[in-house]
Amino acid sequence: MKIVVLDAYTVNPGDLSWDNLKALGDCDIYDRTLPEQIIDRAKDAEIILTNKVLITKEHISKLENLKYIGVLATGYNNIDILAAKEYNIIVTNIPAYSTPSVGQMVFAHILNITQQVKHYSDEVHNDKWTKSPDFCFYDTPLIELLGKKIGLISLGQTGYNTARIALGFGMKVWAYTSKSRLQLPPEIKKMELDQIFRECDIVSLHCPLTETTREIVNAKRLSLMKPNAIIINTGRGQLINEQDLADALNNKNIYAAGVDVLSTEPPLADNPLLTARNCFITPHIAWATSASRERLMNIMVNNIKSYLNGKPENNIAI
């Protein structure tokens, strides 16, 4: 059985082992694959594995041996699912592998903003502390999280995990969710979307990207927010209208933003968030801790074993 990994590097740049996958078949593992290389590299494959490489109907129709596409991520918008169904191709994803790491990144951004970690580290290295007449040095507001309201947009596994962390800081947790109030624990309050933007100190995005959630953060909703409010996005870049967010930050309509994702990745040089005031950007790494990637690879192998046993798990093309 032929297995081809099209873009292995981001999942495993060399610190983890592919041995468990190699035990399942003849493996070709490519760090990166250009669109024009897909057909040639995967022409003999029964199984292809992809993180972000786009698999279209054209690819699926030309790969005569293909039976299984494994997405090395939770999101699968890079696969033509309708074409996979048409050609009876099984498509699996990796759900929930990064939940702890993403929640950790949410609060890495929140704590960096509220405690101004990067600012003060830079100032110390710029000799501001050594030249201070006092035992400490601070020149910005420092924000305590106790009692602050955090609004979570969607309450799946990552949203719930983020809620638990927030409760540990003594925050009040509000959620915009399809779940009923009876399905929520008493410490999480269900709220309407605009109410969350209007009243919360921090809004954190955890919803999937759909036509209804695309640019859910826009000029209208940003205008509802407090001037000291913070936006966090570890979901998808297209959840935010980036020009509207940059304008809100630059005009001091809101205080700050922490984002791990952008609408185009890698970002274009003219992305307005790259130069926006108080916008802190990490390069789509919330998912990428060693523990998270190791979980991903273990689930990947288990998905393939389940497929080989005739009982595929995490099958999304059904």
Q: Which is the catalytic residue, given 58, 86, 192, 265?
A: 265
Residue 214 neighbours by CB under 8 Å, 6+ apart? 238, 239
Q: Is residue 284 annotated as a catalytic residue, yes or no? A: yes
Burial (CB count <10 Å: 0-12, 13-18, 19+), residue 49? buried
DSSP string covering 76-110, please?
-TTB-HHHHHHTT-EEE--TTTTHHHHHHHHHHHH
Q: Which helix (H) or strand (E) holds 4?
A: strand 2-5
Q: Are strands 188-190 and 202-205 parallel, antiparallel or unpaired?
A: unpaired
CA–CA distance, 107 with 102 (Å, rounded to integer):
9
Helix (H), strand (E), coil (C) string for 224-258: CCCCCCEEEECCCHHHECHHHHHHHHHCCCCCEEE
Strands 149-153 and 47-50, how do they pair?
Answer: unpaired
265 is catalytic: yes
* Catalytic annotation, pick one of 59, 109, 284, 293: 284
Respond yes or no: is residue 236 known to be catalytic.
yes
- Please tell me the distance from the alpha carbon of residue 260 to that of residue 231, in angstroms, as a whole number: 11
Cβ neighbours, 10 Å, residue 13 = 11
236, 242, 293, 295: which one is catalytic? Answer: 236
For 258-307, the DSSP string reads EES--SSSSPPTT-GGGG-TTEEE--S-TT-SHHHHHHHHHHHHHHHHHH
Of the candidates 138, 144, 139, the residue with the CA atom closest to the CA atom of residue 114: 144
The amino acid present at 269, given as its one-letter code, is A
As annotated, the active-site residues are 236, 265, 284
